[in-house]
Each structure stands twice: as C-alpha cells, then as structure tokens.
C-alpha cells in the first residue's frame, strides 16, 4: 500500500480557526478521492510498522479543513480489532441532533494531527451523540455513536466550526470537573 500524499496544516494556520462551508452535491471526484486517500493515510498511521517507517503520528480522524479544504466533511478510520480491520466513516455536512447529559473525556488526553505538541488537560465531551449527515450521493443518514467514537465525531465536528481541542481545555484549571465525568 502506497502512502497517500496528505499535507496536514499546523494549528497556527488561520483556516483552522474559521467555520467551514457546506458541501454541495454531487460531491466532486476530487473530494471523493481525497476522502479515500485520507482514510488510507489514517489506517496506515495506526499501523506501528508503517507509522515508524514513514514517521507518522497515529490518527483516527481528519477534517478536510486540516488539509486546507474548508468544507464540512471529515473521515474517520476506527480500528475494530487487532487484525487491522477498520470501520470507515465519510461524513458530509454533519449536525448533532441529540447528545447525552453524561460527559466523558479521553483518559490519556485528546490529540490532533494539526497540534504537534504535548497538551495537558481534559476535553469534556458528550458520552453519546446522534447525528445527521449525508453520504456522497446526498442521501441523509442518521447515526448514534458512543464513547471513543462519539468523542472522535465531536472532535472532527469542532474542526468544521473552527475549534481545536486545545480551545476547549480550561486554561486556569486543565483538569476542571474531571471527577464529574
């Protein structure tokens, strides 16, 4: 498998702090190819041997804006098991339509392929969300996610709104309310 040529913008880039525009249908071949290339890149980044070979940081999801394309689209490659099989998600124009009251955070801390530094603190996220989104053909879909996958979806949706996970960490008290989650 050949590593796709994916250029990931650093957190300092202004475009990452702007709201992305809705995708119009039909989705272009260029965007379809970028979605599949990005899924391949993410899967390769989660393989330790390949990640070492190409000096990749492991990533589970990526919003198109992180690659300089400010549209409301992201992909997630969620490893299902130890056999390198993945659930793949291509999400277009998502909207969270419901969310749990229960809040969670990633114990080892959230990360981001656009944030190339260690970040201390927790990011409060809803434990479960239901979202509406569209597929490549413009068909409306509904999906309910929970736990790690719900966190990943919220992280990527934040990117579409110009928000990075570091923006959600309380600057004065990075572990604020940790005991409530």
Average pLDDT for 36-60: 95
Question: What value does the CA radius of gyration of the chain take, rounded to a whole number of Å?
Answer: 16
Q: How confident is the model at residue 88 (pLDDT cuts 50, 70, 90)?
A: very high
Is residue 171 over pLDDT 90? no
72-97 mean pLDDT = 92
Averaged pLDDT, 150-159: 98
Mean residue pLDDT of the chain comes to 94
DSSP state of 172: S
For 2-25, what is each residue's pLDDT tens digit? 899 999 999 999 999 999 999 999
- Looking at the predicted structure, is the pLDDT value of residue 123 above 90? yes
131, 143 Cβ separation under 8 angstroms: yes
Instruction: Name the β-bridge partners of 129.
Output: 99, 145
Residues labelled catalytic: 156
Alpha-carbon span 181 to 179, nearest angstrom: 6
pLDDT at 84 over 80: no
d(CA 50, CA 86) in angstroms, rounded, equals 16
The pTM score is 0.94
Residues 103 and 147: their CA atoms lie apart, in Å, by 10
Helix, strand, or coil (residue 125): strand
Has residue 83 got a pLDDT over 80? no
């Amino acid at each position: 498998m050949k590593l796709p040529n994916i250029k990931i913008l650093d957190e300092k880039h202004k475009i990452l702090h702007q709201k992305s525009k809705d995708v119009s249908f039909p989705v272009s071949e260029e965007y379809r190819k970028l979605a599949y290339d990005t899924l391949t890149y993410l899967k390769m980044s989660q393989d330790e041997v390949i990640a070492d070979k190409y000096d990749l940081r492991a990533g589970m999801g990526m919003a198109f804006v992180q690659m300089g394309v400010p549209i409301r689209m992201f992909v997630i490659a969620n490893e299902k098991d130890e056999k390198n099989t993945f659930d793949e998600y291509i999400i277009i124009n998502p909207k969270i339509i419901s969310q749990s009251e229960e809040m969670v955070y990633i114990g080892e801390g959230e990360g981001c392929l656009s944030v190339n530094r260690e970040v201390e603190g927790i990011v409060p996220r809803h434990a479960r969300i239901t979202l509406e989104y569209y597929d490549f053909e413009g068909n409306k879909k509904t999906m309910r996610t929970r736990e790690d996958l719900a966190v990943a979806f919220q992280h990527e949706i934040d990117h579409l709104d110009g928000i990075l996970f570091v923006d959600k960490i309380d600057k004065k008290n990075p572990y604020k309310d940790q005991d409530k989650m």
